């Protein structure tokens, strides 16, 4: 049971320890303290505050705990003011004068979020790169394993299992690129004062912002209101939701192909209990949790967009939702990545069943090849289509292979060599450039991740 109102409810079930730590109240307050200390250092460096005064603030920061700040917040009703007053109390009268000088609360809050999100995105990129690497490895090893391609839930033309996985490698790599590109707009500190004009710092405001930026190791917004532009957070949530949906798509793929009547791919669960009532069950619960969490993350997108619509130089309507939004979004995607790693470690597949299913509809999956061959022999597309359609229906109705059915038709006998047609219409040989495309995709992925 959660005993403290400030502890995120997800802390007890979802998210890895390293991601949870970022959103503990201790780390959030520690990060805010770092920003306050850095601001005082910068004030001294640009000549506004006396030199060396930040050392007193640093010592005070070590004494002020997260619990103290939250207790003070309950008393006075303002979190940043609580932090500033406590730092001032333990810094001494002279140093206290310069703590938070010229700053507004969201100089601290938004800058602290940037530092936390920078670390969070680093964790996400590391885990996502690992997942892409694992998928790439399986894709390369199965690039020549034929299986049915499926569109609309029906058998389409043949593909290979590696080709199927390579498509996920590509999609996830695109998300990796999005995160890297997003960082350029998101990971920027906000130092501007009450309405962003830097009025309190006079002509030293730009220099102050530059010093804080360099000390914290991140860039800065060139202009802002009282808060940083909220499009950055909205882009973050949208980017994470896209990634979540890609993971969800893979999870649905596994769930679908694991059905007993297909049984081409499944999640091996060893001795795990699948059902409390049905001992034979081996439910794809890891994949299902990925799908469930993706729904939760997608619901956060609209709220992040609403947070962009604030009054004038800002109002407070974004604050309460962001306290919920940012930790939960990052913890959700972190858990999904953890689950994806587990799912890939348990991923099992049956090449023989894939081949069997490829032939299950009497090889009509190569009707396209028959049509194209007839076109090459001089028929119009409509003529070739109708002949191939007739041959397909004949194969299904009589329970014979497509090539056999085609060779009973006079038009085919007249134009094509039936001995060669058997080989041409073999589904296992009609996988196109699956292997080459798979290899090219994995090469592309590795280059993009390395460049990022």
Q: Mind listing the pLDDT tens digit for each residue in 323-341?
A: 999 999 999 999 999 999 9
Q: Average of pLDDT values for 33-41?
A: 98
Task: Quote the pLDDT of residue 275.
Answer: 46
Q: What pairs with residue 265 in β-bridges?
A: 349
To the nearest 10°, report the CA torsion of 156, 158, 163, 168: 20
Indicate which residue of 275, 302, 317, 348 is catalytic: 275
Does 9 have pLDDT greater than 80?
A: no
Mean pLDDT of 276-303: 84
Q: Where are the domains of the chain?
A: 9-96, 105-271+278-357, 364-425
CATH code: domain 9-96 is 1.10.275.10
Burial class (CB in 10 A: 0-12, 13-18, 19+), 68: middle
Buried b (16+ CB within 10 A) or exposed e, 376-393: eeebeeeebbebbebbbe
DSSP strands (E only) in 33-187: 146-151, 154-160
| CA separation for the pair 146, 233 (Å, rounded) | 43
Mean pLDDT, range 23-28, rounded to an integer: 95
Q: Is 152 one of the catalytic residues?
A: yes
Looking at 152, 276, 312, 320, which residue is catalytic?
A: 152
CATH architecture of 364-425: Orthogonal Bundle (1.10)
Is 80 exceeded by the pLDDT of residue 6?
A: no
**Residues 221-250: tens digit of each pLDDT:** 999 999 999 999 999 999 999 999 999 999
Question: Over the stretch 350-383, which tens digit does the pLDDT of each residue have?
Answer: 999 999 999 999 999 999 999 999 999 999 999 9
Give the mean pLDDT of 68-96: 96
Categorize the per-residue pLDDT at 280 as very low, low, confident or very high, splitting at 50, 70 and 90: low
Active-site residue 280, yes or no? no
Instruction: Judge whether 19 and 96 are in contact, CB under 8 Å.
Output: no
Structure tokens at 314: 């800002």
**Mean pLDDT, range 38-48, rounded to an integer:** 98
Structure token digits, residue 11? 């802390």
Q: Which fold has domain 105-271+278-357?
A: Fumarase C; Chain A, domain 2 (1.20.200)
Phi, psi of 219 (to 5 degrees): -75, -170
- Candidate from 32-41, 127-136, 261-270 with smallest mean pLDDT: 261-270
To the question of pTM greater than 0.85 for the whole model, the response is yes
Contacts with 224 (C-beta within 8 Å, 6 or more apart), sequence order: 190, 192, 196
Residues in the chain, total: 452
Looking from the CA of 223 toward its CB, the CA atoms found within 13 Å total 1
Pick from 18, 245, 253: nearest CA to 126: 18
């Amino acid at each position: 049971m959660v005993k403290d109102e400030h502890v995120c409810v997800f802390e007890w079930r979802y998210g890895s320890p390293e991601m949870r730590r970022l959103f503990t109240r201790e780390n959030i307050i520690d990060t805010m303290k770092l920003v306050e200390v850095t601001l005082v250092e910068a004030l001294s460096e640009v000549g506004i505050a006396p030199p060396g005064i930040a050392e007193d603030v640093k010592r005070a920061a070590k004494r002020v705990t997260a619990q103290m700040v939250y207790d003070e917040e309950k008393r006075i009703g303002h979190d940043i003011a609580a932090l500033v007053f406590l730092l001032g109390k333990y810094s001494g009268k002279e140093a206290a004068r310069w703590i938070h000088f010229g700053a507004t609360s969201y100089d601290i809050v938004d800058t602290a979020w940037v530092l936390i999100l920078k670390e969070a995105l680093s964790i996400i990129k590391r885990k996502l790169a690992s997942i892409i690497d694992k998928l790439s490895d399986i894709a390369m090893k199965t690039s020549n394993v034929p299986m049915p391609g499926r569109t609309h839930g029906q058998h389409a033309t043949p593909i290979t299992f590696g080709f199927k996985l390579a498509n996920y490698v590509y999609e996830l790599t695109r998300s990796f690129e999005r995160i890297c590109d997003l960082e350029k707009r998101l990971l920027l500190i906000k130092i501007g004062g009450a309405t962003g004009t830097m009025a309190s710092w006079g002509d030293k405001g730009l220099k102050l912002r530059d010093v804080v930026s360099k000390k914290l190791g991140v860039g800065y917004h060139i202009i802002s209101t009282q808060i940083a532009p909220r499009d950055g957070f909205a882009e973050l949530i949208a980017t994470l939701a896209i990634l979540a949906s890609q993971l969800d798509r893979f999870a649905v793929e596994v769930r679908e192909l694991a059905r007993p009547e297909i049984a081409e791919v499944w999640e091996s669960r060893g001795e795990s209990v699948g059902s409390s009532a049905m001992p034979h069950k081996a439910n794809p619960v890891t994949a299902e949790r990925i799908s469930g969490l993706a729904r939760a993350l997608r619901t956060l997108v609209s709220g992040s967009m609403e947070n962009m619509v604030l009054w004038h130089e800002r109002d407070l309507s974004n604050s309460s939702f962001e306290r919920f939004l940012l930790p939960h979004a990052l913890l959700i995607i972190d858990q999904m990545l953890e689950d994806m790693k587990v799912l890939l470690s348990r991923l099992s597949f049956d090449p023989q069943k894939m081949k069997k299913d490829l032939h299950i509809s009497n090889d009509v999956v190569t009707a396209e090849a028959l049509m194209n061959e007839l076109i090459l022999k001089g028929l119009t597309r409509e003529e070739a289509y109708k002949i191939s359609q007739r041959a397909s229906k004949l194969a299904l109705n009589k329970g014979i292979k497509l090539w056999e059915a085609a060779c009973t038709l006079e038009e085919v006998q007249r134009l094509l060599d039936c001995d060669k047609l058997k080989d041409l219409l073999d589904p296992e040989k009609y996988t196109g450039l699956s292997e080459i495309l798979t290899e090219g995709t994995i090469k592309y992925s590795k280059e993009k991740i390395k460049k990022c």
